[in-house]
Amino acid sequence: MNEILSKCKRVLWCFPVGLALVVICSGQAIARQDSTVSGTITSVEDGSALPGVNVIVKGTTTGTVTDIDGKYSLRVPSRDAVLVFSAIGFSTTEVTVGSQSQISVGMEVDVRSLSEVVVVGYGTQDKRDVTASIASIDGEALTRIPTGNAMEAMKGQIAGVDVLANGGRPGQGPKITIRGRRSLTATNDPLFVVDGIPMTSGTNSIQDFNPSDIESMEVLKDAAATAIYGSRGSNGVILITTKRGKPGKTSVTYTSTYAATTPFKTIPMMNGAEFADLKREANRVDANGASGRGAWGDAGSSIPADDAVFVDPVELLSAQTGRSTDWQDLIYQNGSQMNQQISVNGGTEKTQVSLSLSYFKENGLVEGTDFGRYTARVNVDHQINKIFKVGMSTLYSHSVQNWGSGATISEAVNQTPLGMPYDDEGNLIFLPISDGIRTNPLNELVPGKYIDERTINRLFSSVYAEVQILDGLKYKFLIGQDYQAWERGRFEGQFTQARKNGTPAAGLFNQQSFGYTQENLLTYNKSFGDHSLGLTALQSSAQQDSTRSGLVAINLPYETAQWYNLGLGTISDYGSRLESYRLLSYMGRVNYSFKGKYLFQASMRWDGSSRLAEGNKWNAFPGISVGWRMKDEAFLSGVNLISDLKLRASYGKVGNTAVSPYQTQGALNQSVYSWNEADARGFALGGIPNPDLSWEYSATTDVGFDFGLFNNRLTGTFDYYHTSTGVSLLLRRALPPTSGYTSILQNIGGTETNGYEITLGATILDMSNGLKWNADFNMGHYSEKIVDLAQRDADGNKIDDVGSGWFIGQPIRTFYDYEKIGIWQVSEKDEAAAFMGAVPGEIKIKDQDGDGKFTPDDRKILGNDVPAAYGGLTNTLSFKGFDLSFFFYYRLGFMIDCQFCQGQASMQARYNNLKVDYWTIDNPTNDYPRPNKNQEGITNGSTLRYRDGGYVKLRNITLGYRLPSSVLEKLRFSNVRIYATAQNPMVWSKFKLFDPERADDLGSGEMPSNQLFMGGLSVTF
């Protein structure tokens, strides 16, 4: 966005002289009651001064323009005069003079009025000329969501980009997919490019960036757009542009926020009384005094006395006295989130500088879990002369994440509510009851008893030099490096679930990675009458080296040593690893436009990789797209309803870096065998070499259109796409044992994806009194299917891989199981026994093939995790300094695997149980089966896990207020805004047990999402 504003400023600065002459020549006579008004005009977005803003007395031709520092001075005819402030790219503002002699105004960006400049990779394009599928989001939209992760902030704001939480722990990053999944075994993460430098460490590396430092993000979605990134572009590309300085007055912005967080939803487990009733029913006996399946409640059955049911004296006393422990309530706390940032932006026409410092801290919902990050950023650009320009970007980040014990939540969920956390003296009881499996979760929270600390130091920097060789011909040299040092220290004390009164243990793990990218870029842009031509040539090389090491010790003599002196104990595990690879690339691209109406782009990239074998290292990745600006045709020039219309079509082929370093060369595995009654080490064949291994490829066809109606008060885009991987996916094909190997990795699998995306933007209200209401809506839909796998039948036909859960014609992640249709009732006793040997109170399975027998053939595909629709709706209202925004995020029509719906509902009553409606002879429900103390798990209990995961979230509400210009002038500030935010205040979903928004299955150890209530202050001077 700053690049857009910068262009606007340069254009506006060309107008002052001409406009001033018009004003002087056509101005009206000034009456004797004239007075002078002056002030400074700034951008609300970043507080920078705005030159070239038109300041007109409404209803007259009297006016002026602001100078390079955004200042103006104007004589007005009366106190009733109304000043109109207008500028290209900004919303028009009107202010009544009254008794004011100083009127300073902060102007808001009007994105829909801009000829937007879009970052397209290795350059920029006017949005009107873009022929590929590219979506943009500005920094203001990202910072509207209070989070330390920019990808989390992007959730629901761009069509086709699916962002899902991996968990609720502080600092835990999300999972991102663009237009669905393509690979079965490799990553589906997009490629991130920051200020022109591709990143090598995936989605998690974005955690080190402060979202407030981001100027804009562009998402390249189709293969024509991503082909310029070759073997790394198949999962989409996210281009991140950080903020840079601008010429003019230096602005300093300080932002401070503080938030309180609470658990969004915790797993509903039974209280003491409910669990006691469950345990009594689980101990029911039949007429012969036997417990188990036969004791379902037939004539003569009964529940034993409590002293026979509750064999543990603590549980017995709790059941008799009504004592109950809510373990989750004991471990959860209110968390907090704090963000402090100061940034400085400014410069001269030759040198521009942008600096920022920030500190982000989040304390989790469980004591001992937190995430803290310090970031410092410096961006400098310097125009040496008309020919040479240089610049640099540097980011340093230091973060510490305390992960906490993974046992805290799972023990709190599973521990019996009839147990006791403390003894009579207030000391923690390690085993709340005599059952030695489950421990007291509060032991995990004792300071220093369990520590999992993860530290990252990162330096990400780049420098560039530009040479303007000729008019339109430019050369750019860019080199960037990314250094990361990751360290994890883990300590497990004696009284923790991991050690269970054993000796303490600790481990220290380190990873260092260094990558660099060097690029030589030559661009040529020229217009010849009706023709516009753009040429791009690139030579690029990249290198990535990483080392890992780890050491684990047990039998530590004292706990305060943690992982800092592992030599005190017994080394139980150790290892180290080096990994290195290189990439050499060439790319060419041509852009052509005729009359600004007929658009064409073609590109080709060649990648050569050290990961691939000799003779197979190089691959080509083409991309081509065309566009037709129909609105510029004569037959639409008089159609005022349509203010913009462009058709687009594209095709491209891109790769996925799915081959690991050294994978084509085969491998040896170390083995241990006995030799002379001692351990000896040797090596055995571990993987068969395959020099024919290549990238996974995907080819995408995309057709779409962009439109604007009612003078662009309603704008939108539509895209339909089809992606195919052919048979390039990496899968293991089984080999006969006589080969000496079990399998070989080959490019033999295939998937296809079809989908569409809709984006709409509307100016609903734009009233003369200053009331404005804008709304943005997006929706994505896709269907994916597997078209080929490694398995074949005897006739060579494709068959499903049931063991891996992969089925021809189905999505990558499906749920294949028996179908629960209820609980066997007493009246169905004979039918249950005949069909599946079941008794009343057990799960009833549907006979899918109708043969009257319960067999594996009765399994079916119950659903999948692909949403039928996903996206968001953002509403933004503003009125005289007040602003209100509310954002809905939705994901509908998909299934989730709720593992705790089975695992924490065993109905055995040994551990606590999910609060469910279960079957008894007196409660013939069809929800959950009857309790049975003799079972470790429910027969066919996996059928209880599959739930409708669809939801609509009110993700964010923000109310803000900007101080008026009259107050700002007295305070000598450019902008002051105070605001309050609520995050995740409401959700609508059929799934009531937990937050359904998760990238993976829901287990009992899941940290809840949080509800957040925040206050913030932003000051610019």
Query: Exposed, middle or buried, 306 (CB in 10 Å: 0-12/13-18/19+)?
Result: middle
Q: For 364-403, what is each residue's pLDDT tens digit? A: 999 999 999 999 999 999 999 999 999 999 999 999 999 9
Q: For 806-829, what is each residue's pLDDT tens digit? A: 999 999 999 999 999 999 999 999
Contact criterion met (CB below 8 Å) for 697 and 230: no
Query: Exposed, middle or buried, 191 (CB in 10 Å: 0-12/13-18/19+)?
Result: buried
| Res 26: pLDDT | 33
| Res 140: pLDDT | 87
| Res 909: pLDDT | 95
| Res 821: pLDDT | 97
Q: In the structure, what pLDDT confidence band is assigned to residue 217 with cuts at 50, 70 and 90?
A: very high
Strands (E), 630-771: 642-656, 667-675, 678-687, 696-709, 714-724, 729-734, 743-766
Q: In the structure, what pLDDT confidence band is assigned to residue 737 with cuts at 50, 70 and 90?
A: confident
Query: DSSP states of 558-605 as a string?
Result: -GGGTTS-GGGSEEEEEEEEEEEEEEEEEEEEEEEEETTTEEEEEEEE
Q: In the structure, what pLDDT confidence band is assigned to residue 110 with cuts at 50, 70 and 90?
A: low
Mean pLDDT of 841-864: 95
Q: In the structure, what pLDDT confidence band is assigned to residue 42 with cuts at 50, 70 and 90?
A: confident
Q: Determine the Cα–Cα distance for residues 734 and 745; give it in Å rounded to an integer.
A: 9
| Res 81: pLDDT | 86
Q: Among 27-31, 311-315, 865-869, which stretch is predicted with the lowest mean pLDDT?
A: 27-31
Mean pLDDT of 157-176: 92
- Using the predicted structure, report yes or no on whether residue 297 has a pLDDT greater than 60: yes
Q: In the structure, what pLDDT confidence band is assigned to residue 67 with cuts at 50, 70 and 90?
A: confident
Helices (H), 217-290: 223-226, 272-282
Q: For 884-927, what is each residue's pLDDT tens digit? A: 999 999 999 999 999 999 999 999 999 999 999 999 999 999 99
Q: In the structure, what pLDDT confidence band is assigned to residue 12 with cuts at 50, 70 and 90?
A: very low
Mean pLDDT of 615-635: 94
Mean pLDDT of 794-814: 94
Q: Amino acid identity, residue 10?
A: R
Half-sphere exposure of 855 (CA within 13 A, CB side): 7
Lookup result for tokens 């840079």: 244
Q: For 552-596, what is each residue's pLDDT tens digit? A: 999 999 999 999 999 999 999 999 999 999 999 999 999 999 999
| Res 77: pLDDT | 87
- Using the predicted structure, report yes or no on whether residue 61 has a pLDDT greater than 80: no
Instruction: For residue 740, count other CB atoms closer than 10 A to its CB.
Output: 10
Phi-psi region of 213 (alpha: psi -120 to 50; beta: other; left: phi over 0): alpha
Q: Among 110-114, 186-190, 677-681, 1005-1009, which stretch is predicted with the lowest mean pLDDT?
A: 110-114
Cα–Cα distances in angstroms (integers) from residue 854 to residues 465, 831, 849, 864, in the given order: 72, 12, 10, 24
Q: Amino acid identity, residue 171?
A: G
- Using the predicted structure, report yes or no on whether residue 694 has a pLDDT greater than 80: yes
Contact criterion met (CB below 8 Å) for 33 and 78: yes
Q: Determine the Cα–Cα distance for residues 63 and 75; give it in Å rounded to an integer.
A: 8
| Res 203: pLDDT | 65
Mean pLDDT of 711-720: 95
427-453 per-residue burial string, b: 16 or more CB within 10 A, e: under 16: eebbbbbebeebbbbbbbbeeebbbbb
Contact criterion met (CB below 8 Å) for 660 and 611: yes
Tell me if residue 275 falls in helix, strand or coil.
Answer: helix
Mean pLDDT of 87-93: 76
| Res 848: pLDDT | 95
| Res 688: pLDDT | 87
Closest listed residue to residue 381, CA positions, set 420, 419, 354: 354
525-554 per-residue burial string, b: 16 or more CB within 10 A, e: under 16: eeeeeeebebbbbbebebbbebeeeebbbb
Q: Determine the Cα–Cα distance for residues 343 and 246; give it in Å rounded to an integer.
A: 13
Q: Among 334-338, 380-384, 458-462, 655-659, which stretch is predicted with the lowest mean pLDDT?
A: 655-659
949-977 per-residue burial string, b: 16 or more CB within 10 A, e: under 16: bbbebbbbbbebebbbbeebbeeebbbbb
Crossing angle of helices 272-282 and 313-321, rounded to 10°? 120
| Res 88: pLDDT | 67
| Res 68: pLDDT | 76
State percent of the chain over pLDDT 90.
75
Q: Determine the Cα–Cα distance for residues 236 and 447; give it in Å rounded to an integer.
A: 43
Closest listed residue to residue 12, CA positions, set 113, 102, 97: 113
- Using the predicted structure, report yes or no on whether residue 14 has a pLDDT greater than 70: no
Per-residue tokens: 647: 């058709």
Per-residue tokens: 698: 């995907």
Tell me if residue 292 falls in helix, strand or coil.
Answer: coil
| Res 29: pLDDT | 34
Closest listed residue to residue 335, CA positions, set 399, 408, 403, 258: 258
Q: Determine the Cα–Cα distance for residues 713 and 775; give it in Å rounded to an integer.
A: 10
Position with higher pLDDT, 97 vs 775: 775
Lookup result for tokens 């150890």: 1005
- Using the predicted structure, report yes or no on whether residue 6 has a pLDDT greater than 80: no
Query: Residue 945's Cα: distance from chain center in Å?
Result: 25
Position with higher pLDDT, 882 vs 51: 882
Contact criterion met (CB below 8 Å) for 325 and 418: yes
State percent of the chain over pLDDT 70.
95
Contacts of 759 (CB under 8 A, 6+ apart): 135, 159, 716, 717, 718, 776, 777, 778
Mean pLDDT of 522-545: 95
Q: In the structure, what pLDDT confidence band is assigned to residue 15 with cuts at 50, 70 and 90?
A: very low
Q: For 634-659, what is each residue's pLDDT tens digit? A: 999 889 899 999 999 999 999 998 88
Provide Rg for the chain, Cα atoms: 33
